[in-house]
Amino acid sequence: MKISVLGAGGWGTALALVVSANDHDVTLWARSQDTIAQMRRSRINSAYLPGVIIPESMHLTHSVEETADADLVLVAIPTQYIRPAFEEFNFNVKNKVVVSVSKGIERGTLLRVSEILRHVAGVPKEYFASLTGPSHAEEVARELPTTVLAASESDDIAKMVQRAFTRPSFRVYHSSDVVGAELGGSVKNVIAISAGIVDGLGLGDNTKAALITRGLAEITRLGVALGAQPLTFSGLSGLGDLVVTCASKHSRNRSVGEQIAKGKTLEQIRRETQQVAEGVFSSESVYVLSKKMGVEMPIVQKVYEVLFEHKPAKQAMHELMTRESKPENW
């Protein structure tokens, strides 16, 4: 197939390498002409994947027109920038399969990526798929074994994406639960910030295991309230993605929480890093969405309070531990 990848960050570049290795005709787009010029000269995305060679067969461009002739469009633009990017560049996605690898809930609208793309580009449900799961770009680009989930309401599209991306080092399962896949990939970033706070406060493995477990319960409660299948959250886009994001040295969201707990402000962290931690934005969106849906999410609430209401991390943790006792399944 002809595949256009929108967004040349680490994840977009890594997945462009995956499909290029499967002999698809791949175009990788970035909005910055300077970024593309540097990548063309060195055949390396030095800002995100240093040392990983980009094959000459992959076309690198900042021209929107050169992305138009594609069978499949992979959206790897951070969630909060999808709407403005599509409004500015008017990408041609009509009658094309659109695969999102962006994880987040849009601020203000509380929309998932599939819903954003439906609003701004008219992408119908039957042409959309979400590709999600425990998959850091740094490892995928170096062909370390990885498994992910392709979710689409169209079984044919889910299986098409599965075939296009599957490699010996990149195993793809398929599902029809788009809501569950998108929510699992979005809310886990918020829980990962809390896991980073645990690391920053030096609270140990017991605490982190508790946050991962109870965080999964919160994700599941919200997902079911929005129509997702409960078992999805026991799979790759739920438990799998949550574990890797809470534990990995590559996790930007975990790192944000750790730095917050050590005394840095959100403004300082934003100035010091060029990569987007989706969980910062999603913590606000998920908190508001949970209130709208009447779903209790105490960990999400405390992350929101630490990030946006400047609650001390130690106080937030104490408040979680001294909440009213409850049964495990509620």
Question: Is residue 144 domain-shared with residue 284, that is, in the same domain?
Answer: no
Quote the domain boundaries for residue 69.
2-176
CATH number at residue 78: 3.40.50.720
CATH number at residue 240: 1.10.1040.10
Residues of the chain with pLDDT > 70: what percent? Answer: 99
> Is 206 among the domain residues?
yes
> Is 327 among the domain residues?
no
> Is 139 among the domain residues?
yes
Give yes or no for residue 275 having a pLDDT over 70.
no
pLDDT digits (tens, 9 = 90+) for 111-131: 999 999 999 999 999 999 999
Question: Is residue 55 domain-shared with residue 190, that is, in the same domain?
Answer: no
Question: Is residue 189 domain-shared with residue 308, that is, in the same domain?
Answer: yes
Q: What confidence category does residue 266 fall into, taking pLDDT thresholds of 50, 70 and 90?
A: confident
Mean pLDDT of the chain: 96
Question: Is residue 223 domain-shared with residue 268, that is, in the same domain?
Answer: yes
> Is 326 among the domain residues?
no
Question: Is residue 66 domain-shared with residue 24, that is, in the same domain?
Answer: yes
> Is 328 among the domain residues?
no
Of 2, 96, 125, 188, catalytic: 188
Question: Is residue 122 domain-shared with residue 170, that is, in the same domain?
Answer: yes
pLDDT of residue 273: 76
Q: What confidence category does residue 195 fall into, taking pLDDT thresholds of 50, 70 and 90?
A: very high
pLDDT of residue 233: 98
Residues of the chain with pLDDT > 90: what percent? Answer: 94
Would residue 264 show up in a list of annotated catalytic residues for this protein?
no
> Is 272 among the domain residues?
yes
Question: Is residue 168 domain-shared with residue 94, that is, in the same domain?
Answer: yes
Question: Is residue 27 domain-shared with residue 167, that is, in the same domain?
Answer: yes
The residue out of 122, 146, 176 marking a domain boundary is 176
Please state the three-class secondary structure of the chain as a single string.
CEEEEECCCHHHHHHHHHHHHCCCEEEEECCCHHHHHHHHHHCECCCCCCCCECCCCCEEECCHHHHCCCCEEEECCCHHHHHHHHHHHCCCCCCCEEEECCCCCCCCCCCCHHHHHHHHHCCCHHHEEEEECCCCHHHHCCCCCEEEEEECCCHHHHHHHHHHHCECCEEEEEECCHHHHHHHHHHHHHHHHHHHHHHHHCCCHHHHHHHHHHHHHHHHHHHHHCCCCHHHHHCHHHHHHHHHHHHCCCCHHHHHHHHHHCCCCHHHHHHHCCCCCHHHHHHHHHHHHHHHHCCCCHHHHHHHHHHHCCCCHHHHHHHHHCCCCCCCCC
pLDDT of residue 272: 83
pLDDT of residue 278: 86
> Is 329 among the domain residues?
no
Question: Is residue 141 domain-shared with residue 252, that is, in the same domain?
Answer: no
> Is 248 among the domain residues?
yes
Question: Is residue 142 domain-shared with residue 231, that is, in the same domain?
Answer: no
Question: Is residue 107 domain-shared with residue 128, that is, in the same domain?
Answer: yes
Total of domains in the chain: 2
Question: Is residue 140 domain-shared with residue 108, that is, in the same domain?
Answer: yes
